Amino acid sequence: MRICVAGAYGAFGLKHLDALANIEEVEVTSVMGPNRERIEALAAERGIGHAATALEDCLARDDVDAVILSTPTQLHAAQAIACLEAGKHVLVEIPMADNLADSRRLVEKQKQTGLVAMAGQVRRFNPSHQWIHNRIVAGELKIQQMDVQTYFFRRTNTNAKGEPRSWTDHLLWHHACHTVDLFQYQTGETVSEACGLEGPHHPELGIAMDMSIGMKTPSGALCTLSLSFNNDGPLGTFFRYICDNGTYVARYDDLFDGYDRPIDLSGVAVSNNGIELIDREFVSAIREGREPNASVAQVLPAMETLDRIERSFSR
């Protein structure tokens, strides 16, 4: 499997490069980034044969079978569609688009081409959430409520590495996307009620810095999601699953019960790295000619829910 990583020297591009190095019979043959000096230096460091500053140069190559897009959010849908039109399978980092119309266009293009198109919904793959999902599927757990906190301290336009960004992040279409998709995936239902509140917009970034979201499924499961770019404290997303048979707290790839006792996740997956697991699913789906978990079609209901929440802001 010959893969191009676009946005390769960004925070998540590097995570994908590290993850792909652990997967057998996978070779990164091309990398793309907007700064020629930086992308050529990365290619030389990693022993990658091709580097480019334009995605179309990578898509024109015969030694690229698939593309992982770790590029700015606003480019995701258009670039993913371009990959499919070029005959390349594509994994697009979360979110697959920053609006519902582009999400639908991407899903339609995947249907037309029949290629693998997957969204980077890594929470489906974190061992902590996989452990919960496996018990739900086995009939051992039923979610009554999810209480989720997504907190950052990001009052300037910087990425996860603390470097300046050329684009603006978004609490709803990026960070809430993780939880909206996970809630529907874990309950096996599409949200029937959803609404949100947003705080004041940043005078320079033009985005809400604080947000509160509520959701309910037809069976009555609830999800309360709090998000902030103003949190001066521990960063990240913390999930509390309140179930009919226990309470569990997931912190990325770790899981604890309601009394903060760790749960052994060994044996849940071949790796405890969610990025590696999502890349393994992408590669396996291509090899096996099947729809991947977190295909763009499977994630579309989450994008529809995000659109409903966004429209509720103006009420």
Domain boundaries, the chain: 2-122, 124-274+301-312
Alpha helix positions (H), 114-158: 127-137
pTM: 0.94
* Superfamily for domain range 124-274+301-312: Dihydrodipicolinate Reductase; domain 2 (3.30.360.10)
Could you list the pLDDT tens digit for every one of the 315 residues in the chain? 999 999 999 989 999 999 999 999 999 999 999 999 999 999 999 999 999 999 999 999 999 999 999 999 999 999 999 999 999 999 999 999 999 999 999 999 999 999 999 999 999 999 999 999 999 999 999 999 999 999 988 776 666 666 666 656 788 999 999 999 999 999 999 999 999 999 999 888 888 899 999 999 999 999 999 999 999 988 889 999 999 999 999 987 899 999 999 999 999 999 999 999 999 999 999 999 999 999 999 999 999 999 999 999 975
Distance of CA 208 to the CA centre of its chain: 20
Determine the pLDDT at residue 315: 55
CA-to-CA distance for 190 and 185, rounded, in angstroms? 8
Determine the pLDDT at residue 164: 66
CA-to-CA distance for 153 and 89, rounded, in angstroms? 35
Identify the CA nearest to 6 among candidates 55, 59, 74.
55
How far is the CA of 266 from the CAs of 4, 123, 137, 141, 258, in angstroms? 31, 17, 19, 20, 20
Determine the pLDDT at residue 170: 82
CA atoms within 13 A on the CB side of 146: 31
Residue in this structure with the two tokens 């009919």, named with its chain if needed: 244
Q: Strands 143-151 and 236-243, how do they pair?
A: antiparallel
Identify the CA nearest to 297 among candidates 129, 158, 109, 135.
109
How far is the CA of 258 from the CAs of 156, 288, 300, in angstroms? 35, 39, 32
CA-to-CA distance for 242 and 34, rounded, in angstroms? 44
Determine the pLDDT at residue 166: 65
CA-to-CA distance for 61 and 3, rounded, in angstroms? 11
* Fold exhibited by the domain 2-122: Rossmann fold (3.40.50)
